[in-house]
Every structure is written in C-alpha cells, then in structure tokens.
Amino acid sequence: MRNSSADQLILETLGKQKSHLTSHQIYEAVHLRLPALNPSTVYRALDRLVNQGKVTVSDMGLGAAVFELTGEKPHHHLVCQGCGHITLIADDQIAPLISNLEKNYHYKIKTNHLVLFGFCEKCQDTA
C-alpha cells in the first residue's frame, strides 16, 4: 500500500467529521476500509499531514492529541474542564488579541487554532 492511500483515507475521514478525532479514532475509521493497515502507518501519515499543513493537531484536554483538517479560516475553542463541553470561537473574536500580542512582543504568531480552558456556566458552581 502506498503512503498516499493512507493519507487520502485520513483526509477523507477527517473531512467527514464535525469534531476532532484522536489518532486511534482515525485508525479505527481508516482500518474499516483498509484492514491490512497498521496503526504505525496511520501515525506516520498523520505526522506527515501535520508537517504538510493539511491537518492540525491540538491538545483539547481529552487525554490524547486530536486532529482535524486545516480549515480555510483559523478557529478557536473554549474547553470546559468540568464537563468537557467544547465551544467554537470565531477567529474574528481572537484576531485582535493575536494582533496585539504580535505588536507588543514583536512576534509573528503562526497558530490557527487556540484552545482556552476554563469552566462553562453550568460547571462554575462546582469549580
């Protein structure tokens, strides 16, 4: 099997999802279509796709890194440390912060996926 076959199946799998997937979840989905595929092949393909900028990897506080397709526009998340709920934040709400940080610290920030942890309104009483 060629690497491009695994890469293509991973990209298709991530393209069908509305949420982030762990490498194991990706392997399980791809393995259904290519039973001879080894987990290590999927992990290497994910590394390659991340390095190519086609896939992003993030720590969403779930105990394992999660992957998603690189989108046309950056997006960001609030992750509740109480219940695990993930809220999507549009880039236009975060862009001024990033611009300010770049200006104040003379940095060129390359992230397109900011994850902020805290407690949602429901979980604040128990935090």
pLDDT band at 5 (very low <50, low <70, confident <90, very high): confident
Q: What percent of the chain has pLDDT over 90?
A: 56
**What is the average per-residue pLDDT within 78-98?**
91
- In CATH, the number for domain 3-69 is 1.10.10.10
State the pTM of this model. Answer: 0.76
**What is the average per-residue pLDDT within 13-27?**
89
Nearest residue to 57 (alpha-carbon basis) of 48, 68, 45, 73: 68
**Of 5-9, 39-43, 78-82, 102-106, highest mean pLDDT:** 102-106
Class of the CATH-defined domain 75-118:
alpha beta
First-residue to last-residue Cα distance in the chain: 50
Please check whether residue 87 is in contact with residue 76, taking contact to mean a CB–CB distance below 8 angstroms.
no
**What is the average per-residue pLDDT within 68-86?**
86
Above 70 in pLDDT, residue 127?
Answer: no
Q: State the Cα angle at 22 between 45 and 36, rounded to 5°.
A: 50
String of DSSP letters for 15-75: HH-SS-EEHHHHHHHHHHH-TT--HHHHHHHHHHHHHTTSEEEE--SSSS-EEEEPPSS-E
Domain ranges for the chain, please list them. 3-69, 75-118
Q: How far is residue 116 CA from its own chain's centroid? A: 13
Please check whether residue 39 is in contact with residue 27, taking contact to mean a CB–CB distance below 8 angstroms.
yes
